[in-house]
Amino acid sequence: MTPTTAQTLRIGAHVDQLDPVAEAQARDTPLVQFFLGDPQSYKKPEVRYAGGASALRSAAEAAGVDLYVHAPYLINVATTNNRIRIPSRKLLQQHIDAAAEIGATALIVHGGHVNAEDDPDKGFDNWRKAVDYTDLKVPLLIENTAGGGNAMAREVDRIGRLFEAVSHADGADMVGFCLDTCHAHAGGIELATAVDRVLAATGRIDLVHANDSRDPFGSGADRHTSFGEGQIDHEAFVELVRAAGVPVVAETPGGPEGHKADFDWLRSRL
C-alpha cells in the first residue's frame, strides 16, 4: 500500500441518504457513506434519492463521487440462531443488490458474533457459508467491532481466523476489510501496530473508518467523537491513516462544517 499524505488523502463522511451527492459536495469530498433504509430494521433496503437508484448512480458518476453503503447493524450472519442468521443472509443479499444498483464502491458490514456458550469456529464457518450463499455483486468489507465477548471481528487473532474461513468460500476475492479506529481502540487493538497486524491477519485493508473515541482503551464502548476530542492516541491515529493508504470515512458528529473541520485536522497532521 502507498502511504497516505495530506495531498493524497481521500476522506469523506457518513451522511444522510436522502441526497448523498449533495452531501458530498457540501463537504468538498469525493466519497460518502450512508445507509439504505433503517439501520435498525430487517426491512429491505430503500433508495430515498429522488428518481431512485439509477438517478443516484448517474448523479454520483457525473459528480465523481464514490458511494459506500453501510449495511444494517442487525445483520449477523455468524450467529448459530437460525431466526437471526437466515434473515441476516437475506438482508445482506438485498443490500448487496441495492448497492450494485446505485453503483456503490462497496458494502460495509459488521463481523457479528455467536452466543457466549458457542464455539467461535461455528461463527467463522457460518461466515464462510454466508459468502458462499451470497452473490457478491460489489465488494463486501467486514468491519471490526468494539465490543462483545464472543465477537467474530473484535480481536486481531479472530479477524485472522474469520478471513481464513472465508478464504475457502466461493467469492472470497470479493471480501475485504474495513478498519474502524474507534472500534479498534475500544476493542483493545493498539493503533500504533494495528495496520501491520491486520494486514498479517487479512492480507488487505480496503477502507478506514476514522473516528475518535469518547471512552478509554479496551472499554468495549462504541461512542465516536470528533478528531482530536477523544481518548485515542492521536499520533497513532494519524499514522494509522498514513500507513493504511486507503480511502477514509469519518463517522463523527456534525454536519458539513464539523466534518470539514475533521478533514482539516487530519490533513494538517499528515
- CATH code of the domain in which 24 resides: 3.20.20.150
CB 258 within 8 A of CB 240: no
In a domain? residue 206: yes
Q: Distance of CA 250 to CAs 11, 99, 109, 243, 253, Å? A: 7, 20, 16, 17, 9
pLDDT for the residue numbered 131: 98
The three cell numbers of residue 163 are: 478471513
CB 142 within 8 A of CB 175: yes
Rg (alpha carbons) of the chain, rounded to whole number: 17
pLDDT band at 97 (very low <50, low <70, confident <90, very high): very high
In a domain? residue 131: yes
Report the Cα–Cα distance between both ends of the chain, in Å, rounded: 16
* Amino acid, res. 79: T
In a domain? residue 204: yes
Q: How many domains does the chain have?
A: 1
In a domain? residue 6: no
pLDDT > 90? residue 149: no
Region 246-259: what's the mean pLDDT? 97
Note the pLDDT tens digit of each residue in 183-210.
999 999 999 999 999 999 999 999 999 9
In a domain? residue 240: yes
In a domain? residue 176: yes
Average pLDDT, the chain: 97
In a domain? residue 38: yes
Domain range for 127 is: 11-267
Q: Distance of CA 244 to CAs 224, 238, 265, Å? A: 20, 10, 18
Distance CA 211, CA 145 (A): 13
In a domain? residue 109: yes
pLDDT for the residue numbered 1: 83
